[in-house]
């Protein structure tokens, strides 16, 4: 089994790593080309691309967070780690003991977490040269796992691998912020969202993080 699915108790705690090496360049480029983004960069000078570090924790937390608010996800996650260690064997053991159902997780999300844990524990989630794989290869591999769709894979790219040009077009929070700041609060067709993203290449991760931060005082992290 590769190190990216190993468990380290220290990495389950929220940590603030140094910003990625590309972050300042991304912020400057977005500010220079987009006055709205320039305002967000100025408003949130201390923004961090926070991560829990361990790949398993990133994927598990992304599953927990699917289609719910940051606040609700934080509450459920805290209950989860109170009843078990966030590791493949910890999740499997908690499921067998009936503890997962006490955390506020839907039945489907419980199934997804257990499937992810089993794949990791059995060594089936096994990508050589993980750090060197391109974004789409990572997405294609992760989406073979039950419960991990493109959005969850994109969260992994952003928060674990910290790739600079990830644009989760289906993310509800990002869509809300785009609507507020660029489209007068109106509904935005996906084609328009994609066009907006294309104009922010190759720094779409930073653009997304600033949009998220503008909506919620709780920093997004997986």
**Catalytic residue numbers, as ranges:** 171
CA distance 203 to 32: 13
| Nearby residues of 5 by Cβ (< 8 Å), 6 or more positions away | 55, 56, 88, 120, 125
Taking residue 42's Cβ as centre, other Cβ atoms within 10 Å add up to 10
Q: Do the beta carbons of residue 130 and residue 139 sit within 8 Å? A: no
Residues 80-119 as b or e (16 or more Cβ within 10 Å = b): bbeebebbbebbbebbeeebbeebbbeeebbbbbbbbbbb
Q: How far is CA 193 from the centre of its chain?
A: 19
């Amino acid at each position: 089994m590769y190190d990216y699915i190993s468990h380290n108790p220290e990495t389950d705690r929220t940590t603030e790593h140094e910003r990625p090496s590309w972050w300042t360049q991304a912020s400057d480029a977005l500010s220079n080309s987009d006055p709205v983004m320039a305002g967000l960069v100025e408003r949130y000078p201390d923004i961090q691309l926070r991560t829990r570090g361990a790949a398993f924790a990133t994927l598990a937390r992304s599953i927990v967070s699917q289609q719910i608010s940051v606040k609700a996800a934080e509450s459920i996650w805290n209950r989860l780690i109170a009843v078990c260690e966030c590791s493949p064997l910890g999740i499997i053991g908690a499921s067998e003991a009936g503890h997962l159902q006490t955390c506020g997780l839907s039945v489907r999300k419980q199934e997804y977490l257990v499937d992810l844990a089993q794949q990791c524990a059995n060594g089936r989630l096994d990508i050589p040269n993980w750090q060197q794989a391109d974004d789409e290869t990572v997405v294609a591999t992760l989406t073979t796992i039950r419960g991990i769709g493109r959005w969850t894979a994109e969260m992994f790219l952003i928060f674990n691998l910290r790739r600079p040009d990830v644009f989760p077009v289906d993310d509800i929070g990002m869509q809300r912020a785009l609507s507020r700041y660029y489209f007068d609060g109106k509904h935005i067709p996906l084609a328009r969202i994609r066009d907006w993203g294309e104009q922010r290449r190759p720094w779409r991760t930073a653009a997304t993080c600033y949009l998220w931060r503008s909506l919620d005082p709780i920093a997004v992290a997986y």
